[in-house]
Structure 1
Amino acid sequence: MALDSAKKQEIVAKFAKKEGDTGSPAVQIALITERIKYLTEHLKVSKKDHSSRLGLLKLVGQRKRLMKYLKRKDYATFTTVIAELGLRDK
């Protein structure tokens, strides 16, 4: 299930650099993190849902690449984003 519009707009407003910013790495990382949290809870209940598990692994890899890019390009924003989302740097 995708995020509902209200939750998505709340995340975008929190991490956007300017009005209408939905494509910056910080916003993308935050949105992907919410989807990962949802899928993790779903998979705790539905242990045999292998297609969702593969989707989860794909999202984790995508978030990892975005975090690597953001760390390389804008370290200050990177540290802010991981602190806000409760993620850790490898």
Structure 2
Amino acid sequence: MYLTKEVKAEIFKKHGGEAKNTGSSEGQIALFTHRINHLTEHLKRNRKDFNTERSLVKLVGKRRSLLDYLIKTDIVRYREIIKELGIRK
């Protein structure tokens, strides 16, 4: 499995403050970004995997919703997270 407990804990520790802070917006956005990158690589190899493509679109929508929430509540945190994760080009 590409996403083990240790990898998730590291993502939340790096972006959420601590490993157990799984509810932070930044941590969830970072986790979604990690999963989106993995699914994107999978779809490059398996073009006709439409179920994975649907899952990818749903994940992007969830991440977008969290980013919209973050931009409304705290623009500074929003700018930091997109810069750190390299979401915008």
Q: What is the CA-CA distance between 1:2 and the residue it aligns to?
A: 5.7
**In structure 2, C-alpha distance between the alignment counterparts of 1:58 and 1:19, rounded to whole Å:** 25
Q: Which amino acid aligns with 1:43?
A: L
Structure-2 separation of matches of 1:12 and 1:36:
16
In 2, distance between residues paired with 1:68 and 1:49?
29
Q: Which has the higher contact order (CA 8 A, sep 6+)?
A: 1
| Residue aligned with 1:69, SS | helix
Give 1:5's aligned amino acid. Answer: K
1:42-57 aligned within 5 A? 42-57=42-57
- CA deviations 1:27-79 (Å, max 9, x no partner) are 11000000000000000001110000000000001100100000110111111
Aligned residues: 89
The runs of 5 or more residues in structure 2 that have no matched partner are: none
2:85 is matched with: 85
| Corresponding residue for residue 24 of structure 1 | 24
CA–CA separation in structure 2 for the residues paired with 1:74 and 1:11:
21
Shift of 1:18: 5.0
Q: Report sequence identity in percent.
A: 44
Structure 1 gaps of 5+ residues are none
Q: TM-score, normalised by structure 2?
A: 0.91
Moved segments of 4+, more than 3 Å: none
TM-score (norm 1): 0.90
